[in-house]
Structure 1
Amino acid sequence: MTDTVGITALIPPELVYACRHRPLDVNNVVPTSSINPRSKLCAWTAVWRDEIMEGGLDIDSLVVVAGGDCHNALVDGQKVALSGVPTHYFFYPFDRDPDYMASQLDGLAGFLGGIKDKEMFRTISGLKEKGLALDQLRVDDRARTSDVFSALISFGDLQGDPAAFEEVLDTIPHTDVEYSSRVALIGVPPIYPDFHEVAESFGLHVVYDELPYEFVRLGGNDMQALAGSYRNYSFSGPITGRIEIIRQELDRRRVDGVIHYTQFACHHTLEDEIFRAHLDYPVLTVQGDLPRPSSEQLKLRLEAFSEMLEVMP
């Protein structure tokens, strides 16, 4: 029997499918949700919490990434658990300990009923190769950033159907892109569903989406390989390692500037001054709260940032 397993942040979708279940990244419903959370710190977790508890999301169980990524998810996940949804708590090792990572994956597999289809590891590994190739098309100015972002962000759950998702990847148009500046988007993804389209409209070609890139960067064809890869999930460890990865990607992708998206009441907001001190690029910091279309103020700031980058030597 295939159950729908809600996931609150990145876990290996390979493992969920190998246990013959279907993952659902609950974050992907948030930007277009009409829910007005009853109580909240971060709107991301409050919205998916209420979507689940009010019946808007039909899941059989929930995996809460409670350590190493999102702090607010721990409490909102417990609220869901108290409502009667079977819930498992998953913790990344801050020190990158491979044995601890392996134990967490083993515990997750146990919660999901055990591995039944090892071939799914290789199937999804092949899809991630396609994702990396698509990401490179964007770097090479041969795919629109909004199309690529929509695909990469879906690698958290492969839209619940790997075979159908592969068809989606194969239909993404390859097209020459015109722009004025190349930018990177670091931090959590914007809660605004039209953010990438708005950036494109002002000539900003987003060639690096930090978090969605992690979705295709990490993987493995067996449990040992998954543990060795996912222990290096950048958001879950020391920020020094994350900065190193970002610097490498900014250089490889030849960016002109950086947009740091922060979410109201998210602990990652405190990282902004660290990034500004350690990234030698112009940085625009923007903050969002509730899911809604990009505001006129945000559009003005993106337009001004684009104009500034155009005149920089």
Structure 2
Amino acid sequence: MKKIGITTTVPIEILISAGYRVIDLNNIFIMSRKYSDYIEFAEKDGFPRSSCAFKKGVYGAAIANDFLEIIGVTEGDCSNSKALEEVFRMKGIKVYPFAYPSTHKLSDLKHSIDKFMNYFNVNMNQVEVVRKKLNNVRTLVKKIDELTYIDNKATALENHIYQVSCSDFNGNFIKFEKELEQKISEIESRKPIEKKLRLAYIGTPPMTLNIYEFVENFDARFVYNEVQREFAFPRGKMHSNIYEQYYDYTYPYNIEFRIEEIKKQIKERKIDGIINYTQSFCYRQIEHIIIKEALDIPILNVEGDKLNALDARTKLRIEAFLDMLIDMR
């Protein structure tokens, strides 16, 4: 089976219909023991030190793992994506474009998805068959989310991993479905986790995965992973076709659309405070101004760069934030 790399969540249903094994390059980068080597490799090839570590890591992962085909998201992703795609083309990698239209009009998105289907010579019927299968898998991931914030049995890290994995279903959605069924059974047998503070994690999925364990050292836990949850399309089964499903996907569109869903989840999950994670040199750092103004709840902005673990300063800031939330209670 041919493999194809993605740099962010795209309509994977189309790629699977076309016979591809889809791999999220972000997941390769973050989970690899060689993650720092991927960054260093990109910098040796000329990537500026003052550029996003994610983009450098994705580049390194793609080259080191011999990807010959990649999906490039030309609209609705990082502002550096276009330049990255140009470098991939220079390296001889075939890049297929896909866009989430900034207009956020259903008609414009339909046009973009239709073009994407044409690139891979698949039709709507084929895509919808795959979409229904994937949404059955996504329903299991939604169950893990519920086991996190309703039953309080799944950990925040488990919540993160299984939701973020829905970008590519770990390259094999059938195997991933079986893994999920086993994991749910194991989680359901646990006793509830008792913590006083209920936190939301919003923004870019973290390079510093130990943020979850660190927070749980205190009387607190994350019960909402915003972007990761969107990767898992929790509302997917509500929609009648692929156009509606990707129109309702909040991540690639304007910040106001994201905030609407965040507000709903703050209320439903009884959130006490928010940690907003951004990467250094990312335009989403500026969006924190809007987020802080729009949400009537304490928010701490945490910035990551090249490290895959929290530094001492960030740990102190998080600890102080949690102490403040406890005092407010």
Which interval holds the TM-score relative to the shorter structure? over 0.9
Q: Give the CA deviation at 1:187.
A: 0.8
The equivalences for 1:233-252 within 5 A come to: 233-252=249-268
How many pairs does the alignment contain?
Answer: 309
Distance 1:82-1:15 versus aligned 2 partners, 3 A rule: same
Q: 1:28 offset after TM fit, Å?
A: 0.9
- What is the SS of the residue equivalent to 2:245? helix
Greater CA deviation, 267-276 or 226-235? 226-235
> For residue 24 of structure 1, what is the amino acid of its counterpart?
I
Q: Look up the SS of the partner of 1:30 in the other structure.
A: helix
Write the mapping of 1:9-158 to structure 2, written as runs, cut at 5 A: 9-31=8-30, 32=32, 33-34=35-36, 35=38, 36=40, 37-38=42-43, 39-40=47-48, 41-53=51-63, 56-115=64-123, 118-140=128-150, 141-158=152-169
| Runs of 5+ unmatched residues, structure 2 | none
Deviations 1:181-229 (Å, cap 9, x if unpaired)?
A: 11001111111132222222233311111111112226758x9711112
Output aligned runs, 1:274-285, within 5 Å.
Answer: 274-285=290-301
The change in CA–CA distance for 1:219 and 1:196 in structure 2 (over 3 A counts) is same
Structure 2 residue corresponding to 1:227, chosen from 233, 243, 246? 243
Bigger drift between 69-78 and 158-167 goes to: 69-78
* Distance 1:149-1:249 versus aligned 2 partners, 3 A rule: same
TM normalised by structure 2 equals: 0.88
CA contact (8 A) 2:128 2:242 kept: no
Moved over 6 A (4+): none
Distance 1:118 1:233 in 2: 17
**Contact residue 98 and residue 227 of structure 1 kept, 8 A:** yes
Q: What fraction of aligned residue pairs are identical, expressed as a percent? A: 26
Once the two structures are TM-superposed, the CA of residue 69 in structure 1 deviates from its matched residue by 2.0
Mapped contact 1:68–1:92 kept (Cα < 8 A) = yes
Contact 2:6–2:25, Cα closer than 8 Å, also in 1: yes
Q: In the alignment, which of 175, 195, 201 is matched to residue 164 of structure 1?
A: 175
Does the residue aligned with 2:13 lie in a helix, a strand or coil?
A: helix
CA distance in 1, matches of 2:28, 2:323: 33
Q: Which residue of 1 aligns with 2:328?
A: 312
Q: Do the aligned residues in 2 keep the contact of 1:12 with 1:219 (CA within 8 Å)?
A: no
Q: Which stretch shifts more, 177-186 or 108-117?
A: 108-117
Q: Distance in 2 between matches of 1:110 and 1:57?
A: 27
Question: For 2:146 and 2:136, how far apart are their aligned partners in 1?
Answer: 16
Q: CA RMSD in A?
A: 1.9
Give the superposition deviation at 1:126.
0.3
Match of 1:177 among 193, 197, 210: 193
Q: 1:259 aligns with which of 275, 279, 292?
A: 275
Q: Distance in 2 between matches of 1:243 and 1:187?
A: 11
Gapped regions of structure 1 (runs ≥ 5): none
Q: Which moved more, 1:23-32 or 1:147-156?
A: 23-32
Summarize the Cα distance change of 1:118–1:279 in structure 2 as closer, same or farther, 3 Å threshold: closer
